[in-house]
Structure 1
């Protein structure tokens, strides 16, 4: 919500029709097609990828500008504020289900599929028919040594450092929120930039981790079930950290322009909810992907 939210309006604000949702969907489709070309077919400079990224950024900027203009123009009331809160809550719930599916895939592969394929319990016949030499070991690159042998990334190296970084970012974001509610804008802005910096440092270390995995450990997307689940979970989480960092930058710039008040700042709160969600997901990743 804006610092100029008009709580006195009796009518619910309905925005005018916009082509931005359709345009952003089309842009993201081009982005995904280009990403597939890059990953599956080895194209180093896929045109569709860069076109999709560029158009998506333009659509996002235009959409943000439109919402900020509406908010600062006093078009939102308390009912709109409640709608945003419900919408953000359901969005984060959908993200919980999204990551839940991938955590479920990790659990199924490790706790159910591997014992079944190795013949444990009453599955000896299945083991003998499918892969007589298959053993229940984790991490597993599957039958036939798919992708070759590889090494895993130690939990108490970069992953642990990144855990401390994200936990610290949650603290600085909370400090910023309390500072905003106490009308300490400078303190709030400084704490927000600290949060942005920590998010960027996290992403830097994750890129370093991926480079090390591919170049030195032979841990790739092709490294059987472990490699696919590892990069699926950590990669999607990294994408969410990237999005969250961009959102934090937008909110910080708005704070510097004087937006938000101690009593009306849901735009800030919504991003804070999202960032704390990202923190919690990482804790699950750290435990179930790196440690256990």
Structure 2
């Protein structure tokens, strides 16, 4: 938000908009296509992709309207507070999302695995070894090697931690009114995010081809790819968000006092960093 709060109305109420209905319809088309796709219906992929593209188009115009209203000075302190609460609750929902997967990992590793490996269950699974990863109950899955913390996961940890530093420098530069410095360090943050994704893609290829670690490799493989994969998806989303913010910074948007668009994207990026630290410890080290 680049306009001063003093020029804004007490509380801005937008007029009727077609975008909520358009978003609902595009998401409906997306899910119809996805449902057809997983059921091997021939037109499923095309409809799913069309729905995704329509959703992205709606988001582009809808966010464009919001940016225009902000730049026109319509958003005051109360709208700013609404945005902050909305982003906070969104990040809280993401915490619950990852919490479910971390909970599944804890339950499988700490409760289910020892339970299946005790003497009472040797009759059911006589060849089962109660060790985390690599064990194959009665030959039901192919043997695989677990993923360790070196070198790629540790490199990626350093990259994300460094990206948090560069983003903080960019934020302080914006608050100080140094737009060029803001853009430089924000671009550095985005670059670190994409380098992280490149390393993760390489890690997946190594896991699949060299370690025989697949999504079908028991509960270990399922949780490993779900946790790291969804985190990688969130890193990609965060990098896209920061790229939009970088474009807006270069267009002259935001001021030292009013820049919640920047702050909201920064909150999300720092959240992704914190999730990775937990994932790095629990998945790769323990």
Q: Answer yes or no: same fold by TM over 0.5.
A: yes
2:204 to 206, 210, 214: 210
Partner of 2:232: 238
TM-score by length of structure 2 reads: 0.91
Sort the Cα spacing of 1:10 and 1:69 in 2 relative to 1 into closer, same or farther, 3 A.
closer
Deviations 1:78-115 (A, max 9, x none): 01101111111111111111101100000000000001
Sort the Cα spacing of 1:113 and 1:97 in 2 relative to 1 into closer, same or farther, 3 A.
same
- Give the unaligned 5+ runs of structure 2: none
- Give the unaligned 5+ runs of structure 1: none
Question: Is residue 150 from structure 1 mapped to residue 149 from structure 2 by the alignment?
Answer: no
Residues of 2 paired with 1:155 and 1:37: CA distance?
39
Matches within 5 A, 1:1-292: 2-28=1-27, 30-31=29-30, 46-119=45-118, 124-125=119-120, 127-128=121-122, 130-140=124-134, 143-292=137-286
Judge conservation of contact 2:4–2:73 (CA < 8 Å) in 1: yes
Deviation, 1:222, is 0.6
Residues of 1 paired with 2:38 and 2:156: CA distance?
26
Residues of 1 paired with 2:15 and 2:136: CA distance?
53
Residues of 2 paired with 1:286 and 1:95: CA distance?
18
Deviation, 1:276, is 0.3
Residues of 1 paired with 2:58 and 2:88: CA distance?
23
Judge conservation of contact 1:141–1:226 (CA < 8 Å) in 2: no
Residues of 2 paired with 1:145 and 1:39: CA distance?
28
Report which stretch shifted further, 134-143 or 65-74. 134-143
Judge conservation of contact 1:146–1:223 (CA < 8 Å) in 2: no
Residues of 2 paired with 1:46 and 1:257: CA distance?
37
Deviation, 1:253, is 0.5
Residues of 2 paired with 1:229 and 1:238: CA distance?
14
Residues of 2 paired with 1:39 and 1:212: CA distance?
27
Residues of 1 paired with 2:131 and 2:14: CA distance?
56
Residues of 2 paired with 1:147 and 1:5: CA distance?
62
* Matched position secondary structure for 2:143: coil
TM-score by length of structure 1 reads: 0.89
Aligned CA-pair RMSD:
2.4
The aligned length equals 285
Deviations 1:176-201 (A, max 9, x none): 00000111110010001111111111
